Amino acid sequence: MQVPTWKLAASSSDPDELASPYQLSPFPILNTSHSLPRSAISITRAHPSSMRATSFAPAALALLLQLTLADQQQQQQQQQPLSRLRPSHQPPTADEPSPLPKQQHHHHVDAASAPPYRDSLLSLHKSLVSIESITGNENEVGRWLVDYLVGRGYAAELQFVAPSDGTPEGKERFNVVAWPGGHDEGTGNGAGRSSRRSGRADPRVVLTSHIDVVPPHIPYSISDDGDAITSRTMIKGRGSVDAKASVAAIITALDDLLHADSASPASSLSDDVMLLFVVDEEVAGAGMRAFSDSLARMDPPPRPFSAVIFGEPTENKLACGHKGALFCDITARGVAAHSGYPWLGKSANELMVRALDRVLDADLGTSDLFGNTTVNVGLFEGGVAGNVIPERAFVKIGVRVAIGPQKQGAKVVEDKIQRILDEVDDEAFTFTCSQGYGSVECNCDVPDFDTITVNYGTDVPNLAGNHTRYLYGPGDILVAHGARENLTVGVLEEAVEGYKKLILHALDHAQ
């Protein structure tokens, strides 16, 4: 299925004078030129084989108007004296109020040990978590994030992704692609200190996480310990860990490196690093798949990424990889009969129970790194009444695959389960599986990091390529999808430092 994408381009006689820093496209390399009057706007719908002009979808037009208004406000700010300028989400100066929750201000009792970015990090994290973005409904948080990044001096692009079952009518969802250099040197907050213009990104290192969350929405809250924020202060809310903590920490880490005099040359960071925040990770990975597919369609092809850093909750340890996944439906067909005469029927439930017992006890594959392949019987339906031999039974299972390789490991497990079903009854069962994958290995050979392996799935296998893969992020997956999802300020700040080390390591080892 082709996923249509939209590109917003504005041009004038001077190609450097754009009406808006926003572009809507699958990736900057796919940009096309149009001869338009100053401040004119063009929308095109891009397909792999051709591009043709078309009209706005109503929601796309509304989004465009909002982005344009935000850009006009930014241009008005730039007309003020430089001493008065500060993007809306940049950390405040000493005489400005804290950007933390407007209804309250907190005194930092551990100010001596607090990193200088604490206020901006917590403000960013709060804003992200406060916006409900259950998979399918990522539009609002995506729009907010684009505005934030452009305000920080990044160039930003939107890559639209097909709607899902949870997408409200008229609320397009999209990946956010951004990179330093959205403003000319000397403007904005300094994040754009690159000599490269914002029309094309050509990164060696990609920093990525997802902006969708699992249901239900849980409002943001931060513990109030006598009006004091310390590294032990706890933050709660849906997405506070998975994975808006990674989103906030990644952006803050890159910002801090761009501003640090001791960091690698700003031109290298600005030219070689790109941000990618995707939708749909919690369901089917459609956002990352759309981005990956767009790379394959580019002509000429982009420079291959050297490394991709994936943000997920790993307890701030560097993950050596994670188990693969396989999700399957099993249907058993029997013969209905009166329960007093079971020999006249064939119980679909009994067949299913016998089959599942063997599946759960079977060795479906083990490895030293990931342990045993495990099976969860997530849904079981069968029969119509206690006095009727059930004619049909239906089960959904989720398998965490401990064996590789990534491309074939899940198929090995699927074949083993099929053989078990055939041995129980070679005519009764229908067995279908979604496209799965085997265990996924990542690079964890980086100095000064503790390591871990995890059992959950990520977007790592959804991005094709031979790049080095790193998996890292704040928070504990054991609370991530629960009612008490939380992490501390210290854990969030530790992640910023971890991402900084990973970014510099990845750049130092880039091919």
Element housing 61 (H / E): helix 58-77
| Burial letters 416-432, b for 16+ CB under 10 A, else e | ebeebbeebbeebbebe
Q: Could you tell me if 490 and 231 are in contact, meaning their C-beta atoms sit under 8 angstroms apart?
A: yes
Q: How far is CA 316 from CA 116, 211, 247, 312, 498, in A?
A: 20, 19, 14, 9, 7
Q: Could you tell me if 11 and 34 are in contact, meaning their C-beta atoms sit under 8 angstroms apart?
A: yes
Q: Could you tell me if 319 and 454 are in contact, meaning their C-beta atoms sit under 8 angstroms apart?
A: yes
Report d(CA 125, CA 229) in Å as an integer. Answer: 14
Q: What is the DSSP letter of 83?
A: G
Nearest to 134 by CA among 281, 4, 8, 352: 281
Catalytically active residues, by annotation: 281
Tokens of 186: 């000397």
Report d(CA 50, CA 99) in Å as an integer. Answer: 46
In sequence order, the β-bridge partners of residue 468 are: 307
**Alpha-carbon torsion (337, 340, 343, 349), positive or negative:** positive
Report d(CA 209, CA 178) in Å as an integer. Answer: 13
Report d(CA 453, CA 439) in Å as an integer. Answer: 11
Nearest to 291 by CA among 199, 164, 163, 161: 161
Element housing 12 (H / E): none
